[in-house]
Amino acid sequence: MKYSLVLASLLAASSLFAAQQVQPQVQTVDTATLQQTNDELVQVKKELSKVRNEIQNVHDKAVDDAYEQVLKENKKLTITVVGQGVAPMNTTSPAQAYALAKRAAIADGYRAIAEKLKGVRVEGQDTIKNMMVQKSTVRTQVEALVKYANVVETAFKEGLCEVEMEIVISHADFAQ
């Protein structure tokens, strides 16, 4: 009993001593790591906000790409199209073939501009007999007046002429 009391007092004293010695050490370690973790946290937060911004930008761009551009007031909109034309077989010279193909390509370019600006009328008709398609017809029609369209680039290769055309439109052009 006497020994046990001595042992207990020794243990208590040693634990007290140990606590006195260890406690300040633990406290110093904690503040250092806390500071470090705080810095890291701030950095991570910054990076997270950067990534969020990037994701938002990508999302906005995707949304812009998905929807067609809309003509707004006091803003101009440039529409670019490519028209294709073929030279006839019975041309007398390559120059004539080029000239004729270019004119056909310009007509196609005008058609493409009209399609974009005014729209296309589409009509379809299918004839089905005995569960089989007998005849399938699709008609499209475009009618418009196109002014101030410009030919930007012309390329002629192997009888095919491609013209890049553009038209700048503003809100005032359509105002009534």
Q: For residue 159, what is the DSSP state? A: T
> In what helix (H) or strand (E) does residue 78 lie, and over which residues does it extend?
strand 76-86
- 112 contacts 131 by C-beta, under 8 angstroms: no
Residue 65 to residue 45: CA distance in whole angstroms: 30
Please pick, from the candidates 71, 77, 151, 169, the single residue that binds other proteins as defined by CB under 8 A: 151
Name the minimum Å distance from CB 176 to other proteins: 18
Name the minimum Å distance from CB 68 to other proteins: 21
Site string for other proteins, 113-132 (x = CB under 8 A): -x------------------
Please pick, from the candidates 24, 148, 174, 175, the single residue that binds other proteins as defined by CB under 8 A: 148
User: Which amino acid type is present at position 164?
Assistant: E
Interface with other proteins, residue 167, by CB under 8 A: no
Long-range contacts of 32-38 (CB under 8 A, 24+ apart): none
Site string for other proteins, 53-92 (x = CB under 8 A): -------------------------------xxxxx----
Interface with other proteins, residue 163, by CB under 8 A: no
Tell me whether residue 73 or residue 143 sits nearer to other proteins (CB atom): 143
Q: For residue 89, what is the DSSP state? A: S
Look at the alpha carbons of 61, 63, 66, 72 in this order and tell me if their dihedral is positive or negative: negative
Per CB under 8 A, residues contacting other proteins are 84-88, 99-101, 103-108, 110-111, 114, 135-151
